[in-house]
Amino acid sequence: MNKFKYYFILLLAGISFVSCSKKDDDEVVVVPLRDYATQYKADNDSIVKYLKTNYIESVTADFDVKISKIPAGGAQTSIWDQKTYTLGIRKVYSNDVYYDVYFLILRKGMGNSPTNTDKIVASYSGNLLNGTVFDSSNGFPGNFLLFPYSNSTATEGTVIEGWSEIFPQFKTGFSKTDSNGVISYTDYGAGVMFLPSGLAYYGETKDKIPAYSPIVFSFKLFDLQRMDNEYTLSSTGLVFVGDGVPDYLEDLNGDGYLYDYSLNKTKYPNPPKNDKVYDTDGDGVSDFLDLDDDGDGFTTRFEITKPAGEIGIVNGINYGVSRYYPWEPVIDNPGTPNVDETEPRGIPRRPTGALADPSKPESYTNSRKYIEADYTDKPRLRIHLDKTYPYKQN
């Protein structure tokens, strides 16, 4: 894998944001960033106070939410104390601070949950704790890439860190397209996130958002696009090339979160031990960013590519039309009667069948044959995660 890109990202990440002010016409005074831990304490106090002094005035059938301040002497139940909607807490490690991030679940959703590296379709409205609205999609869905490392390159459509941490707690809905091509969604997830400034814009002043402002986003999660985020670096930024295995399948514990703390040791000097980082070959690059997951010298994409004679229907046997093995076998989708999505074989393990020459040891020139169970058994160590295969050529 091209390691240069990591040094480039580390360089970018090491450049701190600074606030500048003119002392006179000729001199610029650089104001250093505040301490993250100290600022988080102030932000958290403000957010908790907001949750205890504001209430949910209304939630429409479309899950538009209105939050208002409890008036003096008012009997309304605060967001903090109400029991109608779950107030969750997501623990997030960033800039060597352990954040408690509060989020309100208006509806969980019925579809699939994104990972923190997927692309989502969502609508949103953002406001400060004093109620000032600073941005809104006006109810229209937009596309956003949650990939947390792309912010360093100003990739279009990327989001603040807090979004990457909260959206995986929700699920998408289901889409329907009418005869005029208009898409509508049902059963989508909807909620509100309350973000400390360290997971938002921090020391940067952003339009109506003053530096060091905690912010609130209400949102609806309509749909997602699974991403395959292995990338290379070009003069214009990151070029996503993928390794053939979508990120969510490289999240082996399925919790929706993938991290590579090695990208920025300043931001992540003491990562939590309970955050599982999948780095099969131990090269310091997590699998979801590694073009050769097992470090055997063969790229993951090469290892999961089907032999040319196993694409489509061959001698009456359906091997599936894809050039690459899926993670697991795939059955046909009855909702698409004109397309057969059947892929009867998933990514295989190292072959366990008979040797080409049983009188000689297994080697590059005397390999075993694949048997059907090698493509379907559960569990199995897939070949792109098995550094003993393909065989090394002598």
Residue type, 123: S
Question: What's the pLDDT at 150?
Answer: 55
Pick from 203, 236, 261: which residue ends a domain? Answer: 261
The verdict on residue 355 lying in a domain is yes
CATH number at residue 233: 3.10.50.40
The answer to whether position 281 is within a domain reads no
In a domain, 291, yes or no: no
Looking at the structure, tell me whether residues 197 and 327 fall in a common domain. no
**Model pLDDT, residue 67:** 98
**So what's the pLDDT on residue 157?**
54
Q: Cα separations (Å) of 141 from 118, 120, 160, 165? A: 16, 9, 17, 19
Question: E strands, 161-318, where?
Answer: 174-177, 183-186, 189-195, 215-225, 231-234, 237-240, 313-314, 317-318
CB atoms within 10 A of CB 116: 21
Residue 44 pLDDT:
98
Instruction: Provide the domain limits for residue 305.
Output: 298-394
Is 199 in contact with 236 (CB distance < 8 Å)? no
pLDDT, residue 392, reads 83
β-bridge pairing 19-22 and 54-59: unpaired
CA distances in angstroms from 255 to 115, 249, 275, 324, 378, listed in the order given: 8, 11, 10, 25, 20
205 and 328 within one domain: no
Same domain (yes/no): 227, 101: yes
pLDDT at 266: 87
Q: Walk along the chain (394 residues) and give the pLDDT tens digit of each residue.
A: 443 333 333 333 433 444 445 556 666 677 899 999 999 999 999 999 999 999 999 999 999 999 999 999 999 999 999 999 999 999 999 999 999 999 999 999 999 999 999 999 999 999 999 999 999 999 899 999 998 765 444 344 578 999 999 999 999 999 999 989 899 999 999 999 999 999 999 999 999 999 999 999 999 999 999 999 998 888 887 788 999 999 999 999 999 999 998 888 888 999 888 788 899 999 999 999 999 999 999 999 999 999 999 999 999 999 999 999 999 999 999 888 898 999 999 999 999 999 999 999 999 999 999 999 999 999 999 999 999 999 987 6
Same domain assignment for residues 179 and 317: no
In a domain, 274, yes or no: no
Domains contained in the chain, number: 2
Residues 6+ apart with CB under 8 A from 3: none
What pLDDT was estimated at residue 262?
85
Query: Residue 275 domain-assigned?
Result: no
Q: What is the pLDDT of residue 149?
A: 66
Q: Are residues 138 and 245 in the same domain?
A: yes
Tell me: do 227 and 318 sit in the same domain.
no
What lies within 8 Å, CB to CB, of 279 at 6+ separation is 285, 286, 287, 290
Whether residues 48 and 164 fall in one domain: yes
Query: CB within 8 A of 265, min separation 6: which ones?
Result: 10
Looking at residue 26, what is its pLDDT? 61
In this structure, is residue 332 part of a structural domain? yes
- The whole-angstrom separation of Cα 286 and Cα 275 is 12
Residue 244 covered by a domain: yes
Q: Are residues 320 and 243 in the same domain?
A: no
With respect to residue 272, please indicate whether it lies within any of the assigned structural domains: no
The whole-number pLDDT of residue 23 equals: 57
Provide the pLDDT for residue 240: 87
Q: What is the pTM of this model?
A: 0.88
